[in-house]
Structure formats: C-alpha cells, structure tokens
Amino acid sequence: MRKFATLETEMVNPKTTDIDSLGTYEILKVINNEDKKITKAVEQVLDKVAIVVEHCVNAIKNGGRVIYAGAGTSGRIGFLDAAEVVPTFGVPEGIFTALIAGGDEALKRSVEAVEDDVLLGESDAKKIGVNSKDFVIGITASGRTPYVRGVFNFAKSQGSSTALICNVSNPELQDVSDIVISILTGPEVIAGSTRMKAGTSQKMVLNMISTATMIKLGKVYKNYMVDVLVLNEKLKERAKRIIMESTGVSYETASQYLEKAGNKPKLAILMILTGKDFDTCQKLLEEHWSVNEALKHI
C-alpha cells in the first residue's frame, strides 16, 4: 500500500510555503498561478478521456448507464455533473447516476469515515443494480479511496467496465480499473486540500466526458443543445432562439414549430429542415439519434 506522504496530492508545494504571510492580492495571484497548471495537466490525458467517452456512448446506446462514484469533493463533483446533464441535454434521470460515500447527507456536509468503507461501496453499487451494461467511473484524487474500490469490486463482479479519474501516478485502484486517467495537477496550494486543483481538474474532465458523450449521441446540432428540456418560460424562449438560429426561420415560425413538435426543439428543427411531418421526423430521430444523421436518410 502506498503511503499518503508519497502521493503527489499530499505533498507540500514549495511555491506556497509562505502563503500565510502574504497580502490578499498576493495570495490570489499564487492560487491563480497554480490553477494555470490545471489545463496543461488535463491536456496530457485527453487520449484517455476520449476512450472513456466512447465507453459512455456505447453503454447508453446499449441501454446502460454511466455511473460516477466518489467520496467527499470527488463525489459531490460527480453528483453535480450527473444532475446538470438532465436539463441541459434532455436525458432521463438515471442515465447518468452518481454514488457518494455517505449518501445524500454527504452532499451537504462532511461525513466522517465512510470513504474508508469498502463494503459500503459494494452495497451502494448493489442497491442501484450495477450491471454489465453500465460503465462505472470512479473519481478519487488519491487514487485509493476504499469506497470507490468497493463500487468497482461489485461492478467488476457484474461484468461492468470501469474507469478511474485520479490525480496521482500509479494509483492503487488501477488493479480494478480498465482505464486510468491520472491528471497530475501536483501538490496543492494548501497541502492536501484536493478541493482545489485536483477537484477543479476532475470537474473539467467530467464536463468533457458528459458533453462529448451527449454530442456523440445527437444531443447537439451544430453547437446548440437541441434537446434542452422546456421546463419554464426562460427555457421556452431559449428553445425558440435555438430553432431560429439553427434554421434561419423567424420567431413566429420557430414558435409554431416548437408547439407542433411538443416542445422538442430537435424535432422542430428536423421538421423545418426537411418539410416532413411530426411522425416522420420522430421516427427518423428514433432510428438515427441526431439531426445530421437523420438528414442523411431523407
């Protein structure tokens, strides 16, 4: 077992040892300079992120889910990404699912010791019925969190593929991970405070994974989120603008087609672009997922 002191995320940052004696602006400059290293670290793992995206796409196409698992900051970041996918891309709740050590209570406050419970991870994975169709992504800065190991243990026993997002080299959990994304953000500004660079890098990578997955699944046309859920007046107006800008029609026409399409912007766009009726366009999208693919089969 690797000692905590040897983990990159636990080491003391030599560039910030005097941070407690600096003025407010100087403190912020130090933090900002360290944060500039995050995008470079993420750039180094894009090839692995691309592989993870393909696994996510395949899982969802085959009726499975993308499941995030983590503890503390990492777990909360997973919950945030999973929650935001639903209204942004119009996917049903549960397609992206998140597990956090300590459950919902851990979203609001720190719950002690639960991250060290392997059996809790196994139990939580079992409760949500992780199966071979699912793709499980563990998120842990240290690359060793026992709770995540428990989730992975159950997932592997059910035939699920797994990926690890961490911030250290040679993570302990690589033995139960099919894909390892090690984002080497280095020592934190405050030693061991992985809510900082490590957490930011994890959020960036999850943004990439969920967004790229949704693009590949046809949830984006050009660069518009055409499956946005129309849940209120603000979102209805956004949907109309998306239809107008992506097809060139007037506000009035966009409004009419949004109504005809049952408040589904993507369907409205395809109806406008093809001149076909609701049923024809609905069938095309069911078969081909995206506007671009549907247009090829007119």
* String of DSSP letters for the chain: ---GGGSGGGS--TTSTTGGGS-HHHHHHHHHHHHHHHHHHHHTTHHHHHHHHHHHHHHHHTT--EEEEESHHHHHHHHHHHHHHHHHHTPPTTSEEEEETTTTHHHHS--SSGGG-HHHHHHHHHHTT--TT-EEEEE-TTS--HHHHHHHHHHHHTT-EEEEEESSSS-GGGGG-SEEEE----S-SSTT-TTTHHHHHHHHHHHHHHHHHHHHTT--BTTB-TT----SHHHHHHHHHHHHHHH---HHHHHHHHHHTTS-HHHHHHHHHH---HHHHHHHHHHH-SHHHHHHT-
User: What pLDDT, in 10s, does the model give residues 24-77?
Assistant: 999 999 999 999 999 999 999 999 999 999 999 999 999 999 999 999 999 999
Q: Decide if 280 contacts 258 (C-beta within 8 A).
A: no
User: What pLDDT, in 10s, does the model give residues 49-63?
Assistant: 999 999 999 999 999
Asked if the model's pLDDT at residue 254 lies above 90, the reply is: yes
Q: Average pLDDT, whole number, for the chain?
A: 95
List Cβ neighbours of 109 (8 Å cut-off, separation of 6 or more).
none
Q: Where in the chain is the domain with CATH 3.40.50.10490?
A: 4-216
Q: Decide if 110 contacts 79 (C-beta within 8 A).
A: no
Q: Are strands 135-139 and 66-70 parallel, antiparallel or unpaired?
A: parallel
Q: Where in the chain is the domain with CATH 1.10.8.1080?
A: 233-296
Q: What is the pLDDT of residue 1?
A: 59
Task: Examine the residue annotation and report whether 233 is marked as an active-site residue of this protein.
Answer: no
Beta bridge pairs of residue 138:
69, 164
Task: Examine the residue annotation and report whether 115 is marked as an active-site residue of this protein.
Answer: yes
The pTM (predicted TM-score) of the whole model is: 0.92
Q: What is the pLDDT of residue 188?
A: 94
Q: What is the pLDDT of residue 109?
A: 87
Report, at the CATH architecture level, how domain 4-216 is classified. 3-Layer(aba) Sandwich (3.40)
Over residues 184-204, mean pLDDT: 95
Q: Rounded to 5 degrees, what are φ and ψ at 69?
A: -140, 135
Under the banding of pLDDT at 50, 70 and 90, the label for residue 2 is low
171 token code pair? 């993570």
User: What pLDDT, in 10s, does the model give residues 96-143?
Assistant: 999 999 998 989 888 878 998 999 999 999 999 999 999 999 999 999
Q: Are strands 179-182 and 96-100 parallel, antiparallel or unpaired?
A: unpaired
Active site residue: 115, 122, 172, 188, which one? 115
Q: Rounded to 5 degrees, what are φ and ψ at 285?
A: -70, -35
What angle, 0 to 180 degrees and rounded to 10, lies between the N-to-C axes of helices 251-260 and 265-274? 110
Over residues 251-275, mean pLDDT: 97
Using the Cα atoms of residue 215, residue 220, residue 225 and residue 231 in order, give the sign of their dihedral: negative
CA dist 111 and 118 (Å) reads: 15
Over residues 197-226, mean pLDDT: 96
What angle, 0 to 180 degrees and rounded to 10, lies between the N-to-C axes of helices 265-274 and 233-247? 30
Report, at the CATH architecture level, how domain 233-296 is classified. Orthogonal Bundle (1.10)
Q: What is the pLDDT of residue 180?
A: 98
Over residues 287-296, mean pLDDT: 92
User: What pLDDT, in 10s, does the model give residues 150-182?
Assistant: 999 999 999 999 999 999 999 999 999 999 999
Q: What is the pLDDT of residue 88?
A: 87
Q: What is the pLDDT of residue 259?
A: 96
The amino acid at 19: I
Q: Decide if 291 contacts 270 (C-beta within 8 A).
A: yes
